[in-house]
């Protein structure tokens, strides 16, 4: 499997990637997770990325392209699920070059479509495990014990960029800078649109059906 999970923040890319990883054993590559790890470890990349991330801005292309290439170089035969990358046309083009070098072209770009009102609801109620990265939602996917990850018992966090001002900015950035990437993949004939509404399992079934 060699796919991109595409969609606005809050569309459920991380949730679906986590389910796909279990089913297909492919590597889950999330540039957002890699950046948050760099921020937590106060690496040079992390220090550079933090101010962009806190405001809901995109981290510069060269930084995220380097991260994605590094992760892609180490994936095994089961392939990869890219989550949150690419987010600009420049990133999409760099990805094509990197995958051509590895002789592993993309098979599909799954676009999870959700309207803005629902995205705000999902993002403001989202909680994430900083340990195993499992995503939760206070209403639609609560934990068994309050505030603690079901999988690894780590205390959940409410991301800084899931606060109202940052959410509004992330949606604006998505509409202005990221959504044009859809046209890029549509012209290549590998874009698959999915109405990402309903329960997590219903959406997963739709994704699995499209992937065959
Ligand atoms: P995510 O967890 O995918 O929503 O990413 C969180 C934040 O990390 C984004 O709001 C951006 O600031 C940054 N980020 C993650 N992936 C990218 C990317 N491909 N290009 C630029 N910035 C990114």
What pLDDT sits at residue 77? 86
Please identify which residue in the block is written with the tokens 């997963």: 204
**What whole-number distance in Å separates Cα of residue 156 and Cα of residue 162?**
13
Burial 79-106 (b: 16+ CB within 10 A, else e): ebbbbbbbbbeebbebbeebbeeeeeeb
Q: Is 36 tagged catalytic?
A: no
What pLDDT sits at residue 184? 97
Find, among 116, 56, 129, 50, the residue nearest to 87 by Cα: 56
C-alpha distances (whole Å) from 38 to each of 31, 34, 87 are 10, 6, 19
Position 81 in a domain? yes
Q: Which domain holds residue 177?
A: 2-26+75-115+172-211
Position 145 in a domain? no
Position 32 in a domain? no
**What whole-number distance in Å separates Cα of residue 165 and Cα of residue 153?**
30
Which two three-digit tokens encode residue 77? 């035969």
C-alpha distances (whole Å) from 150 to each of 84, 145, 186 are 24, 7, 38
Q: Is 69 tagged catalytic?
A: no
Mutating to test ligand 1, I would choose from 48, 87, 127 the residue with most ligand atoms within 8 A of its C-beta, which is 87
Position 165 in a domain? no
Give the number of domains in the chain. Answer: 1
Position 185 in a domain? yes
Q: Please pick, among 2, 36, 71, 87, the residue that the annotation labels catalytic.
A: 87
What pLDDT sits at residue 212? 83
Position 50 in a domain? no
Mutating to test ligand 1, I would choose from 51, 58, 122 the residue with most ligand atoms within 8 A of its C-beta, which is 58
Q: Please pick, among 2, 13, 36, 127, the residue that the annotation labels catalytic.
A: 13
Determine which residue's CA is closest to atom 5 belonging to ligand 1. 32
Strand pairing category for 135-137 and 80-83: unpaired
Contact in structure between 194 and 102 (CB atoms under 8 Å): no
Position 202 in a domain? yes
The tens digit of pLDDT for each residue in 25-83 reads: 999 999 999 999 999 999 999 999 999 998 889 999 999 999 999 999 989 888 999 99
What pLDDT sits at residue 55? 87
Residues of the chain with pLDDT under 70: none
Determine which residue's CA is closest to atom 8 belonging to ligand 1. 32
Please identify which residue in the block is written with the tokens 């889950």: 28
Q: 27: helix, coil or strand?
A: strand
Determine which residue's CA is closest to atom 12 belonging to ligand 1. 53
Q: What is the DSSP string of 84-116?
A: S---SHHHHHHHHHHHHHHT----EEEEEE--H
Q: What CATH number did the domain enclosing 104 receive? A: 3.40.50.300
Position 94 in a domain? yes
């Amino acid at each position: 499997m060699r796919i991109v999970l595409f969609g606005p923040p809050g569309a459920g890319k991380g949730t679906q990637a986590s389910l796909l990883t279990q089913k297909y054993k492919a590597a889950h590559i999330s540039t957002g997770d890699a950046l948050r790890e760099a921020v937590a470890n106060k690496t040079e990349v992390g220090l550079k990325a933090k101010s962009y991330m806190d405001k809901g801005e995109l981290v510069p292309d060269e930084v995220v392209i380097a991260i994605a290439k590094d992760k892609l170089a180490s994936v095994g035969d089961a392939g990869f699920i890219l989550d949150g990358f690419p987010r600009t046309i420049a990133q999409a083009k760099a990805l094509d070059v990197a995958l051509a070098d590895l002789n592993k072209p993309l098979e599909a770009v799954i676009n999870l479509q959700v309207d803005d009102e629902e995205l705000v609801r999902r993002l403001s109620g989202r909680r994430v495990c900083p340990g195993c990265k499992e995503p939760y939602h206070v209403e639609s996917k609560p934990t068994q014990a309050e505030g603690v990850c079901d999988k690894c018992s780590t205390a959940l966090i409410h991301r800084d960029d899931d606060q109202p001002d940052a959410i509004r900015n992330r949606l604006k950035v998505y509409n202005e800078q990221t959504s044009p990437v859809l046209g890029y993949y549509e012209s290549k004939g590998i874009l698959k649109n999915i109405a990402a509404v309903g329960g997590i399992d219903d959406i997963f079934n739709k994704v699995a059906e499209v992937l065959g």
